Amino acid sequence: MNISPDRDSLYHEYSGRVAAYIGSRVSSREDAEDLCQEVFMKVYSSAESYDCSKAGVSTWIFTITRNTVIDYLRSKKETSELPEELADESTLTDRTFEALADAVSGLPREQRDIIVLRYYNGLTLKDIAALMGISYGMVKLRHKNALDFLKASLAK
Amino acid sequence: MEKLLRELFDRQRFEGHGALAKAVDDVQSRYFGGGLELSEEELDLVSAAGEPASVGIRLNEDKKK
């Protein structure tokens, strides 16, 4: 099923999110602004072929934004390697994103802290132990318990 | 699961899921001091409109120029 989303409403609703995402990945403000424009050029040019039965509008625009950032990082060689989360194709569906976000938010604080520090900040478990002032063994145990809880939450 | 979590937080930068954003902000604030907590003294300088009083002072100074 195809729809042609209105350009103005798309820009109005998503430009802030696109800019925020690009800004979190690209250090040059000027390049980030250019990339933001590039994303919307791609969005407008592919709007006719957008299939809403395959992905929500948000997922579609996120995918275009993410791929634009990956192409930029590769061309600029800003980093020797792409961040792990950008290295592979995204497999997170809208439903999984919501379910996993809710599950992480529902973790006990001591486990949630570890998940955020590990997967948002990219710290190692040893770094997290030092930062939290607890033993590495305790961090490993809480990390494992959190992953088990999250797996069980998604399986429901 | 670990790959999904990396993707989750990457997409969070775009989606801004309310509860998850709050959890991330809370962690950044407690471990890296990235919060926007204001002291009592700083709060006194914030006007009713939520703007720092110093902004108003600067605007008045600009008008004088």
Mean pLDDT of A15-22: 91
pLDDT value at residue B64: 44
Secondary structure in 3-state letters for A7-75 = HHHHHHHHHHHHHHHHHHHCCCHHHHHHHHHHHHHHHHHHHHHCECCCCCHHHHHHHHHHHHHHHHHHH
pLDDT value at residue A79: 59
Fold of A7-87: Rna Polymerase Sigma Factor; Chain: A (1.10.1740)
A contacts of B20 (beta carbons < 8 Å): 101, 104-105
In chain A, list all ranges with CATH 1.10.1740.10.
7-87
Bigger pLDDT: A156 or A73? Answer: A73
Q: Are A146 and A112 in contact (CB under 8 A)?
A: yes
**Cβ–Cβ below 8 Å for B14 and A104:** no
**Residue with token string 């991330």:** B24
Fold of A94-155: Arc Repressor Mutant, subunit A (1.10.10)
pLDDT value at residue A1: 45
- Written as one letter, the residue type at B48 is A
A contacts of B29 (beta carbons < 8 Å): none
Pick from A9-23, A75-89, A103-117: least confident: A75-89
Task: Name the nearest CA neighbour of A86 among B20, B24, B9.
Answer: B9
If you measure CA to CA, which chain B residue comes closest to A64? B14
How many Å apart are CA A82 and CA A80, to the nearest integer? 7
B contacts of A91 (beta carbons < 8 Å): 3-4, 7
Pick from A3-7, A19-23, A46-50, A89-93: least confident: A3-7
Tell whether the model's pLDDT for residue A89 goes beyond 60.
Answer: yes
How many Å apart are CA B14 and CA A62, to the nearest integer? 7
Q: Are A118 and A143 in contact (CB under 8 A)?
A: yes
Considering only CB atoms, A84 lies closest to which of B6, B15, B22, namely B6
Query: Cβ of A103 under 8 Å from any chain B Cβ?
Result: no
Tell whether the model's pLDDT for residue B56 goes beyond 60.
Answer: no
Task: Name the nearest CA neighbour of A148 among A120, A97, A108.
Answer: A108
If you measure CA to CA, which chain A residue comes closest to B11? A62
Query: Cβ of B46 under 8 Å from any chain A Cβ?
Result: no
pLDDT grade for A130, boundaries at 50, 70 and 90: very high
Choose from A100, A115, A143, A149 for mutation: most chain B CBs within 10 A. Answer: A100
Q: What is the pLDDT of residues B6-42, one digit of tens each?
A: 889 988 888 877 888 889 999 999 998 854 444 444 4
CA A56 to centroid of chain Cα atoms: 15
Choose from B2, B11, B17, B28 for mutation: most chain A CBs within 10 A. Answer: B11
How many Å apart are CA B2 and CA B18, to the nearest integer? 21
User: What is this model's ipTM?
Assistant: 0.75
pLDDT grade for A85, boundaries at 50, 70 and 90: low
Query: Cβ of B58 under 8 Å from any chain A Cβ?
Result: no
Q: How far is CA A65 from CA A25, A62, A155, B11, in A?
A: 11, 5, 29, 11
Provide the mean pLDDT of chain A: 86
**A62 burial via Cβ count (<10 Å: 0-12, 13-18, 19+):** buried
In chain A, list all ranges with CATH 1.10.10.10.
94-155
